[in-house]
Amino acid sequence: MHLGLDSSTQSLTAVIIDPASGTIAHQQSVNFGADLPAWGCPSGFIPGGAGGEVHSQPLMWLEALDLLLSRVGASFDLSKIRSIAGSGQQHGSVYLNASFETVVSSLDPTGDLRTQLAPTLSRSTSPIWMDTSTGAECAEIAAAIGGNDEVCRRTGSIMIERFTGPQIRRFYKLDPEGYAATARIHLVSSFIASVIAGTSAPIDYGDAAGMNLLNLESLEWDAGLMEATAPGLAEKLPPAAAATTVQGTVSAYFVAKYGFRPDCRCALFTGDNPASLVGMGATRPGNVVISLGTSDTFFAAMPTAKTDPNGFGHVFGNPAGGFMSLICFRNGSLAREALRDRLALDWSAFDREALAATRGEAGRNLMLPFFGPEITPRKDFDAPLLEGSEAFESGADPGLQVRALLEGQFLNMRLHSMWMGVKTERLRLTGGASKNDGIAQLAADVFQAPVERLEVSNSAALGAALIAAAADGMDLEALQDIYCRSSGEATLRPDPALGSIYQDALGRFESLLGRA
């Protein structure tokens, strides 16, 4: 059996798979807020940070790891685990002093992780992906490299506040002594991996690409970017490597304390988005995952490292090899709910009735579906822009606005994923709004691709368990065929008659966006 661990913003989750029977043998979670309230991080981060600063507690993650394994071990025989892999919230960083390597390789199983590893931190807290405090550092690094286009060409993203490079630069500027005392900088993923394996782990390409430091062409740390970020950074970063690399066996601490077998293999840990790509069965180019949540995200495998010429999307490593895109849309459910409330509709009126009643109007009226600032495209909208019939623009027929909002959201995704150059062969929808048949059918029609709904929960931890099995010699695609099944609902087929209508709408949508 194989264990996947996902250290996310709010919780640490374990998923154990048993490929011999094609089942999930065990799942368990520790919630940082509910289970470890003494840390004062009810949502997984330290509340009240000033100037966009959002930090979390690396020692809390370690306490959660001990708690999780003691809970799993209480009802599951951990000696059955042949390999471990994991994932972490992306971009978060952990700063360690020169004692880390010695301490982590000689942990005493009669003590705990938190207490023993506390003296190895050179910075007590960790900036995480929600941090937006590094605008100045982003500008400084971009200027040193010749601008954001060049940064994007090298690293797959323009300089982004939450990415690790600018976060490291900010630490160096705020606390040069703390930075000088730092011998190793890990991501959340590689930090937990290091603790599990009892030795400093490499950072996998999937997560490394979220740092504004990895050169996607060479898959090595970019010398110019390291220099522009902070002095001496090359010595502080672990090497970058492929996720399925076996870095060793589980450390003696976990063998003695939780009953792991001494030859249990450890693969690298990756970011939660790359792990979700695996857990959603989407590592093959052509499969696209759209997650409809507070924000909507679009991610898909890419065989080569193309970058978004507009700098809106990101490129990360695909744990199965090659690359993946991640494109975030801020006006997701926020916009759907804003329109629903504005029109005083309930959910069923919102999707089924409104869409069914307006089917003949497909692609006719246009809405730029942004109720507030958007990141794809990056622009400070404050209200949606409407262009179409009188009944539509006036709101006399609310169904027309519902249709145009949802069409606008999917057209915007289609438009801003074209840079990937990968044809969408199959859409896998997840997240709350994906349960609406009307919304799912609309996605099929706008993308002209069949839509499946996935029943996978904990997709990152499941993906990590599949990576663990792959690192133990199993075939990743075969595992995805077993574990990443769609829910019982039938696949929705696109209506081919709408193909040219949405092709035309796409052009008009783009030109409306150009005028906004």
Binding site for ligand XUL (CB under 6 A): 8-9, 89-91, 129, 162, 210, 271-273, 326
With respect to ligand XUL, which residue has the nearer C-beta, 8 or 247? 8
Residue 52 or 395 having the CB closest to ligand XUL: 52
C-alpha 114, offset from chain centre: 26
Cβ contact 7:477 at 8 Å: no
β-partners of residue 241 are: 204
Full 3-state SS string of 400-460 = HHHHHHHHHHHHHHHHCCHHHCCCCCEEEEECHHHHCHHHHHHHHHHHCCCEEEECCCCHH
**Residue 209 and residue 304: Cα distance in Å, rounded?**
14
Nearer to ligand XUL, 292 or 355 (CB): 292
Decide whether 9 or 120 has the Cβ nearer to ligand XUL.
Answer: 9
Distance of closest approach, residue 467 Cβ to ligand XUL, in angstroms: 16
- Smallest gap from residue 207 Cβ to ligand XUL (A): 9
Residue nearer to ligand XUL on the CB measure, 56 or 83: 56
The residue (of 9 and 155) whose beta carbon lies closer to ligand XUL is: 9
Residue 265, judged by CB atoms within 10 A of its CB (0-12, 13-18, 19+), counts as buried
Q: How far is the CB of 376 from ligand XUL (least distance, A)?
A: 12
Distance CA 83, CA 4 (A): 9
CB 313 within 8 A of CB 296: no
Q: Which amino acid, one-letter code, is at 60?
A: M
- Rank residues 185 and 446 by Cβ distance to ligand XUL and give the closer one: 185
Q: Least distance in Å: CB of 128 to ligand XUL?
A: 8
Q: Are residues 36 and 60 in contact, defined by beta-carbon separation less than 8 angstroms?
A: yes
Radius of gyration of the chain (CA): 23
The minimum distance between CB 62 and ligand XUL, in angstroms, equals 18
Given a contact cutoff of 8 angstroms between Cβ atoms, the answer to whether 84 and 266 are in contact is yes
- For residue 472, the minimal CB distance to ligand XUL (Å) is 26
CB of 86 to ligand XUL, least distance (A): 13
